[in-house]
């Protein structure tokens, strides 16, 4: 029976949290920037909203978090470039839709998922996020009417 070591989970979470607030070393920024060259003149397209933004407003996002990719030993790590707002929206989506535990009906307890299952869940959550955005952008019922528009006078002059 696999149980969750809450002390270990808490220490790992706090160490990641502390890394976020460390002062960056010289030449590094807190956010991952796309290029080290003059980013103020370069325009990039967000892979989610498809809007152009200055490269300084773009963030590289790992679909599956880096630490999980390393621990599971995945061969490829898919990275997408997102603007700040889409990046925040994707993280909020993942917080609501990616679960690290499941409920075992036999024991009536929550158990931790394997890292491979979590990696698949992050990948799946990303594609569902993209699918939901397409539904919002292109609803099934079009605003265009099926009726033909009559232009001018089409009656024959008999």
From the list 20, 54, 49, the residue with the least C-alpha distance to 39 is 54
> Along the chain (158 residues), what's the average pLDDT of each consecutive run of 10 residues?
67 65 51 48 85 88 89 84 91 90 86 88 91 68 49 50
Query: In this predicted structure, what is the pLDDT of residue 71?
Result: 86
Give, as one character, the DSSP assignment of residue 56: G
CA atoms within 13 Å, Cβ hemisphere of 71: 11
The predicted pLDDT at position 16 comes to: 64
Residue 90 confidence (pLDDT): 92
Confidence (pLDDT) at 35: 44
Boundaries of every domain in the chain: 30-84+100-137
CB atoms within 10 A of CB 31: 13
> What pLDDT shows up at residue 31?
47
pLDDT at 140: 56
> What pLDDT is attached to residue 88?
92
Find, among 95, 140, 155, the residue nearest to 121 by Cα.
95
């Amino acid at each position: 029976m696999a149980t969750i070591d809450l002390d270990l989970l808490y220490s790992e979470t706090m160490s990641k949290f502390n890394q976020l607030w460390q002062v960056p070393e010289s030449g590094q920024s807190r956010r991952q920037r796309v290029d080290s060259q003059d980013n103020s003149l370069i325009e990039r397209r967000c892979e989610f909203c498809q809007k152009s933004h200055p490269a300084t407003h773009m963030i590289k996002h790992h679909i599956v978090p880096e630490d999980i990719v390393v621990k599971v030993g995945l061969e490829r790590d898919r990275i997408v470039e997102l603007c700040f707002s889409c990046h925040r929206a994707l993280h909020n989506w993942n917080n609501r839709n990616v679960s690290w535990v499941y409920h075992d009906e036999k024991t009536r307890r929550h158990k931790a998922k394997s890292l491979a299952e979590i990696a698949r869940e992050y990948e799946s959550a990303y594609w569902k996020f993209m699918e939901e955005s397409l539904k919002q952008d292109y609803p099934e019922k079009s605003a265009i009417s099926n009726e033909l528009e009559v232009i001018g006078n089409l009656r024959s002059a008999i």
